[in-house]
Amino acid sequence: MVLNRVLNLFRRSATTNTSDTEGLQATVIPRSEHGISRQQLSPSALKVMYRLNKQGFEAYLVGGGVRDLLLGQQPKDFDIVTNARPEQVKKLFHNCRLIGRRFRLAHIMFGREIIEVATMRGHHDDSKSNQVSKLDDAGMIVRDNVYGTIEEDAERRDFTINAIYYSIADYSLLDFANGIDAINNRRIEIIGDPVERYREDPVRMIRAVRFATKLDMTIEPRTADPIHDLAHLLGSIPAARLFDEICKLLLAGKAEENFQMLREFGLLEALFPDLVTFLDSDATEADEAFILAALRNTDERVNNDQSVTPAFIYAAMLWPLVEFNARELATESELGPSEAFQIAASEVLDRQQKRTAVPKRFSLVSRDIWSLQLRLPNRQGKRAEKLSTHPKIRAAFDFLLLRGEVYGGELKPLAEWWQQYLTSTGDKRASLIKEVAGSGSAGKRPGSRRRRRRTSPNKPKKDAES
């Protein structure tokens, strides 16, 4: 493996201590000593780097693209860093747009492919009056348009495995923080002081978990130790940004593993506070098993190149909590089961939105999946036919199937019935409807109990003779 060829060279020349980033010096690994080829890079990324370099700017491939190539994996995207300012990048590419307020980035579009170009970041120094930076009282970076040298940029990177640069000028690798050594030893190591770096950007704690599971690595103790105590800092991160991070965690084929590790480090409570409270106090073993089964099912779909959506995973993770709250609400009020369920669903989603802002295009689908769970038991007459045309019936059926596998009871035969119905037509469907009508259970919701009508204590009883 290419990493083994450069390991000895790296050990001879590396002088960086990742716990003290002062004066980082690059270990230069020439093209002859590493296996990254231009043929492995996106032609669009090469075009961007060549043009920047031709115009007199430095240009490097950095981050996950270099890391994944060294691990023998094909990167999903290619990020570039340069000493050109965002406005200078925009002048060089007509297909470029500038985005971001916290840190300005250039997105260069080649059809559906986007090459992200960042200007090298510098340190936050008030003496640099021509640059815009801002930290809040807790030390979190809220404005980061501070530009610097490649050495400063390397110090600002989060983990050592992401601080390896591929130079388009001579095709060498520049390793500033012992990143190749960390890759060889399968370690996630933060650059600099962990507490300070997590305070700068608490999302780095989530990224540590995601990289560990994605790359099959271990978070080394110095990097892992402060996470549990600092997990609460995620409360200051915008809910929309946390939703994006949740999607990366749960929709990339490592959902179950990420869920367990987030819970272990206390990060899940910052992302799904109501769910964690429920799991720690009121959830049954089946409730937790249902969530894990849904995460496992999502991982299987991702690994089989099947479609996945945040709507389904959110519906599954919050379903046991919605059901529990609906039962509590129905017991404590005069509300019927259906009305109590709709109120509970709204309350759970509203509270979750405050932590991870789920876009309506997903939250509405989650609600459809939940509402259909109440309607699927009602199959008499033309109801089954009408339900079968609902745009979210397949997702709702998959959800019912999962419930049947975990909770069992009447849910399992109900799911089997719908499987037959949805895969048949004509006479077969008609016979299935007759079968339900004959069983006398067409309108009964599995697991539900008919509520006894309560009589007001002040209402006089009817005279027996009247």
In DSSP notation, 37-64 reads -GGGS-HHHHHHHHHHHHTT--EEEETH
pLDDT of residue 16: 39
Count the Cβ atoms, other than its own, within 10 Å of residue 153. Answer: 24
Task: Kindly state the helix (H) or strand (E) to which residue 445 belongs, with its residue range.
Answer: none
pLDDT at 6: 41
pLDDT tens, 175-192? 999 999 999 999 999 999
Neighbours of 330 (CB within 10 A): 21
Alpha-carbon gap, residue 290 to 320, rounded angstroms: 8
Q: What is the pLDDT of residues 51-92, one digit of tens each?
A: 999 999 999 999 999 999 999 998 989 999 999 999 999 999
Per residue in 306-317, pLDDT tens? 999 999 999 999
Q: Can you list the domains of the chain with their CATH numbers?
A: 2-193 (3.30.460.10), 271-439 (1.10.3090.10)
Distance CA 341, CA 319 (A): 11
Whether residue 227 has pLDDT greater than 60: yes
Mean pLDDT (whole number) for 128-147:
54
Strands 113-119, 79-82: pairing kind: parallel
Tell me what the mean pLDDT of segment 243-271 comes to. 97
Maximum separation of any 2 CA atoms in the chain, in Å: 105
pLDDT value at position 455? 43
Look at the block and give the residue holding tokens 């959110």: 314
Question: Which comes out higher in pLDDT, residue 37 or 18?
Answer: 37
pLDDT band at 438 (very low <50, low <70, confident <90, very high): confident
Active site residues: 77, 79, 158
Q: Which helix or strand (DSSP H or E) is residue 129 part of? A: none
Assign 123 a pLDDT band (cuts: 50, 70, 90): confident
Walk across the sheet containing 105-110 and list its strands.
27-29, 173-175, 164-167, 59-62, 79-82, 113-119, 105-110, 96-99
What percent of the chain lies above the pLDDT cut of 70?
84
What is the reported pTM?
0.83
pLDDT band at 441 (very low <50, low <70, confident <90, very high): low
